[in-house]
Amino acid sequence: MKTQVEQDGIVTLTGEAAESLKDSHMLNEDLRPTTRAEHHWTAYNFSSLWVGMCICIPTYTMASGLIALGMNWWQAIVTIILGNLIVLIPVLLNTHAGTKFGIPYPVFARLWFGSKGAHIPAIARAIVAAAWFGINCWYGGAAIDTLLVSMTGWEHVGGHLFIAFFAFWLLNVVVAYRGPESIRKMESWAAPVLIVMGLALLIWAITAAGGMGPMLSAPSKFQSAGEFFTIFFPALTGTIAFWATLALNIPDFGRYAKSQKAQVIGQSIALPGTMGLFSFIGVAVTSATVVIYGQAIWDPAALMAHFPPFVIFIGTIGIILAALTTNVAANVVAPARAAENLWPRKITFAGGAVITGLLSLVMQPWYLVGDISNYIFVFLGGYGALLGPIDGIAIADYWLVRKRKLALTELYSSTGRYSYASGFNRNSIYALVIGIIIPLLGLFVPGLRFLWDNAWTFGLIISGCIYTYLMRQDPSKLSDEEYASMTVIMNAPKTASDVTGNMIKQGPENI
């Protein structure tokens, strides 16, 4: 019996197959494959998603960390753009799976880790997302705190910064209750607003300073290529790791794409373009503050304190909007889905959002952003070393091992072909461990330091290659004949009557 229909490169369940999964304990409304009607995100939706996520204070201040480490402004911006062009590759490759089969990240992970083993990459991604959730809440809370201090006697309230942080944290959790579709709508109108506000800030800085400022003419502090590359490679890993998180769970959004073309165009333009532009705005504005105020002010919240109350109010709204659009899209969906996947019948997306918020407090975001070297080298580099191997396994499984052929119904069965041995695919676990250990050697063996400095890249390549080798004879793979036996292949019909005609030609037993 045919269980799935492929039309224009998008696969959906047949009505009978969908009905047969209703009682599966591995499925709920959020984890099921999307229907054809739900594939409605356009290139603009994906562009606005990335604009909303990229325009945030961590992006604004990212270049500052690289300049503080010795780079000049253009070396920092080029490093950031290069890192995002590199991470764009796994983003597009993993989005393809979500778009074609309409599955969220935890279900995608069942394919390569097993029905139970999928919790390993899902929870790993969730922990990192919770940390980012806390960091963005901390920045947003600081902006609110600055607004209140400048307009009232708020600074005399004990613990005022933490009160503002918890208030903004609560706002994020409440908004997250509304789910992924509300994120699409919010990003659609927020993206142009954020771009306009960012450009307005840049124009003010250039005008008030009578130019870009001294920072853009300051030379690099490195005396040799060796000194530069000692900083460049770990910094590049840090910039890659910035969105290595979304490179994993991008199927959570890709599953709604109207077509592969829509997701490729929207993401290819918006991700590297927005990261490069907003990082440059951060550098240029900060450079101008040296001329205007006699000191470099990297923190937008601190910069706002120099403006009149109305401008502070508008700026605070912008920072809150930037932090909110980043948080609900980038840092809630993945951990909420991971929580759902642990107990699909009991935990909803809303419940997962609350769990994410609570976990973010445990991660102590005020500590993570307290020291720039700790932020870039320890936090970003550390989780890059963890997520790189998982990215490698995901890409290798879908593109090299299975060659983009899946049995959708089997992903929701605890005894199906993707359950492996007791729910765990040992091959993926072996590949993950090796992909983490080898770069980790660079921390302890001086001559191998380059492995750790490029941990995300080496981890991805090592784990991907090992996984592909170990899975070469795995029985879970579908042959072309097996895929054809369960899939109705349809060309795009032009009218409703054409749809009926195609179904008749296929035969009722195949539909």
At 375, the pLDDT band (50, 70, 90 cuts) reads low
SS (H, E, C) 289-315: HHHHHCCCCCCHHHHHCCCCHHHHHHH
Q: Which two tokens stand for residue 96?
A: 């393809």
Residue among 283, 313, 308 nearest 298 (CA): 283
In Å, how far from its chain's centre is CA 386? 15
Structure token digits, residue 37: 């009607």
Phi, psi of 5 (to 5 degrees): -120, 130
Q: How confident is the model at residue 58 (pLDDT cuts 50, 70, 90)?
A: confident
pLDDT of residue 421: 86
What's the pLDDT band for 259 if we cut at 50, 70, 90?
Answer: very high
Q: Is the pLDDT of residue 503 over 50?
A: no
Cα 282 to chain centroid distance, Å, stands at 21
Q: What's residue 378's pLDDT?
A: 60
Separation between Cα atoms, residue 6 and residue 15, nearest integer Å = 14
> If DSSP codes are grouped into helix, strand and coil, which group holds residue 337?
helix
Distance CA 281, CA 300 (A): 11
pLDDT at res. 510: 39
Under DSSP, the state recorded for 488 is E
Q: Does 105 score more than 70 pLDDT?
A: yes
At 13 the three-state DSSP class reads: strand
- pTM for this entry: 0.84
Nearest C-alpha neighbor of 327 from the set 185, 193, 196, 171: 171
Task: Report the alpha-carbon distance of residue 222 to residue 55 in Å, rounded.
Answer: 29
Mean pLDDT of the chain: 84
Over residues 87-99, the pLDDT tens digits come to 999 999 999 999 9
Q: Does the pLDDT of residue 511 top 60, yes or no?
A: no
- The answer on pLDDT for 199 being more than 70 is yes
- Band of pLDDT at residue 504, cut at 50, 70 and 90: very low
Strand partners, 490: 7
More confident residue, 244 or 160: 160
Greater model confidence, 510 or 386: 386
- Tokens for 491, please give them: 């060309």
Cβ atoms 140, 320 nearer than 8 A:
yes
pLDDT of residue 180: 59
Domains with residue ranges and CATH for the chain: 4-510 (1.10.4160.10)
Which letter does DSSP use for residue 509 in this model?
G
Dihedral angle, C-alpha 458, 464, 466, 467, nearest 10 °: 150
Q: What percent of the chain is predicted at pLDDT more than 70?
A: 91
Output 260 or 137, whichever has higher pLDDT: 260
Instruction: Indicate the pLDDT class of residue 373, thresholds 50, 70 and 90.
Output: low
3-class SS letters over 231-269 = HHHHHHHHHHHHCHHHHHHCHHHHCCECCHHHHHHHHHH
